[in-house]
Structure 1
Amino acid sequence: MAFWNRGAMALDDVPAIAAGKLEVRQFVVGAISTNVYGVVSEGAAMVVDPAGEGDRIAKALADVRVELVVATHGHADHVGGCQALVDVTGAKFAMAEADVDLARHARRNHAFGIQYDADAPEPDRILAAGDEVSVGAARFRVLAAPGHTPGGIVFLGEGDAEGIAFVGDTIFAGSAGRTDLPGGNASELMATLARLGQEVPPKTHVLCGHGDDTTMAWELEHNPFLRR
């Protein structure tokens, strides 16, 4: 399985990152290059969508305390490394209720004939729209984002995390998530995208589950699924 540690992301227009109070580290994992993110604040870390090789992600974050692991949705290419990461670090695991069963049987529901490390563990916390998760001084508000899967969620940064959002496979640079995979619903996805276009501030850096990061402003101008 491929593993790239890309280190800290250059997001210098995010105030807390520019001030050295927040760090976002990126890892690329697996056969279809899933982006895994480590959010570091005050010596603690939250890991978003550990797709696989949780033990290697843990080693790459050995200089901080990994306190929380979160999933934007339950597909295997986003939760395959959760169990190993939780086992190594003792972190808590959180995701939305509607995707728990999908994640619980992630390997059975995988696509493209790819083998993944493990199914996701049972969550220690169930997340719903309006909830908040935090690590150090960084806070994230949970936004419901069904469509790619029933329990898809977005983590919108607030406080020291203002200016970034983790969107999983709901939005891609210039595109949007597939709906022909387990749990997909095209009409729900379009409704989600319309709402996120209003809820996510234009200057926000959108950190996607695959491919390049982007900004909501660029997507609203150019993405055919989001263009106003």
Structure 2
Amino acid sequence: MEILTLVAPVFGARCSVVVGPSRSCVVVDVGAGAGEQVRALVEREGLRPRAVLATHGHADHTWDAPAVAAAYDVPVVLHAADAHRLADPFGTLGLLDPRHDPHGPLAQALAAAGVDVASWQPPARVEPFGAVGVDRSADVELVWDDVRLVARHAPGHTEGSTLYLVDAGDAAPVVLSGDVLFAGSIGRTDLPGGDDATMAATLRDVVAALPADAVVLPGHGPATDMRTELAHNPYLQRPR
């Protein structure tokens, strides 16, 4: 499978398009301002979107998801523990909500991208997977035509944060890590639904167990790989 990357103008959120041999695809994390880029890419590459996925429910990863899903009559798919965020993605951000802080960083980024906070409409079709109320649920295989991903629950940044694992054939596997793991860092845990202890358990039991040769495409910032992160990311260092 092929993975094409777009970058949303709000907070530089990564949008990944996973493409199968038949040109069916799924779109992961359609952040604020990424929708037009997705539509242009689909037309240019002759793709057939089958679903819009989210690594978690924060607005910078989901804002354009309903519009893209509606354009191709496909569902928005994410972990059940984060599905509630799609009703009000800003309301689940606590003090970062631009309606509470109209001059804060998110409000400024949205304004610069021409995003109207009042224009949000929830997606018409949401297909959650996994279970609510557990620290970590079992892997879920997601298949559309010849596009296959494994969803691995990785809470801590939010309750439903998810890693999507993509089998790249003869190449190293690819992990779409959302805001769980960044190059040299991890996602914040101080927003509603975040939890330090849960994130620590996720890093120990889920992230550190990923294949060492896995390529990691985070929700923000540069790509990395697990061998580098295990050796140098301070949040993955175990006491010696």
TM class by smaller structure: 0.7 to 0.9
One of 143, 154, 157 as aligned partner of 1:148: 157
User: 22, 29, 32: which one pairs with 1:49?
Assistant: 29
| Corresponding residue of 2:100 | none
8 A Cα contact 2:159 2:194, kept in partner:
yes
| Whole-angstrom distance in 2 between the partners of 1:154 and 1:43 | 23
How many residue pairs were aligned?
A: 207
Q: Counterparts of 1:215 and 1:123 in 2: how far apart (Å)?
A: 34
What secondary structure does 1:102 align onto? helix
**Unaligned stretches of 5+ residues in structure 1:** 1-21
Distance in 2 of aligned mates of 1:222 and 1:82:
34
Q: TM-score, normalised by structure 2?
A: 0.79
2:236 partner SS: coil
Q: Tell me the CA shift for residue 157 of structure 1.
A: 2.0
The 5 Å alignment of 1:1-228 reads 22-41=1-20, 42-53=22-33, 54-62=35-43, 63-110=46-93, 111=96, 112-114=105-107, 115=110, 118=120, 120-121=122-123, 123-128=125-130, 129-158=138-167, 160=169, 163-228=173-238
Contact kept, 8 Å, 2:172 with 2:213, in 1: the verdict is no
Three-state SS of the structure 2 residue aligned to 1:184 is: coil
- Matching residue's letter, 2:37: R
Identity of counterpart residues, as a percentage? Answer: 32
Partner of 1:148: helix, strand, or coil? coil
**8 Å CA contact 1:52, 1:81 repeated in 2:** yes
Report the Cα distance in structure 2 between the residues aligned to 1:123 and 1:168, rounded to whole angstroms: 22
Deviates more, 1:62-71 or 1:132-141: 132-141
Aligned residue for 1:225, secondary structure, equals helix
Structure with larger Rg: 2
Within 1, Cα distance between the matches of 2:178 and 2:140?
Answer: 17
Deviation at 1:135, TM superposition (A): 4.0
2 CA distance for matches of 1:84 and 1:152? 22
Counterparts of 1:123 and 1:153, CA distance in 2: 19
What is the identity, as a one-letter code, of the residue corresponding to 1:24? I
TM-score by length of 1: 0.83
**Unpaired stretches in structure 2, ≥5 consecutive residues:** 97-104, 131-137
Q: Secondary structure at the match of 2:230?
A: helix
Counterpart-to-counterpart distance in 2, 1:139 and 1:89 = 19
Preserved CA contact (<8 Å) 2:156 2:180: yes
The 1:122–1:107 alpha-carbon spacing in structure 2 relative to 1, beyond 3 Å, is farther
**What residue is the counterpart of 1:16 in the other structure?**
none
Call closer, same or farther: CA 1:32–1:204 in 2, change over 3 Å.
same
Measure how far apart 1:198 and its partner are: 4.2
Q: Distance in 2 between matches of 1:183 and 1:95?
A: 15
State the AA in 2 paired with 1:151: G
Distance 2:23 2:139 in 1: 26
Question: Matches of 1:94 and 1:159 in 2, distance apart?
Answer: 21
Letter in 2 for 1:141: V
1:183-203, Cα deviation, whole Å (9 max, x unpaired): 111111111011123431110
Offset at residue 102 of structure 1 (A): 1.8
The CA deviation string for residues 149-170 of structure 1, in whole angstroms up to 9 with x for no partner, is 0111111123748610111000
User: Is the 1:197–1:220 contact (alpha carbons within 8 Å) kept by the matching residues of 2?
Assistant: no
Answer yes or no: is the 8 Å Cα contact 1:51–1:76 preserved in 2. Answer: yes
Local SS of the residue matching 1:199: coil
| Residues 142 and 154 in structure 1, CA contact (< 8 A), matched pair in contact too | yes
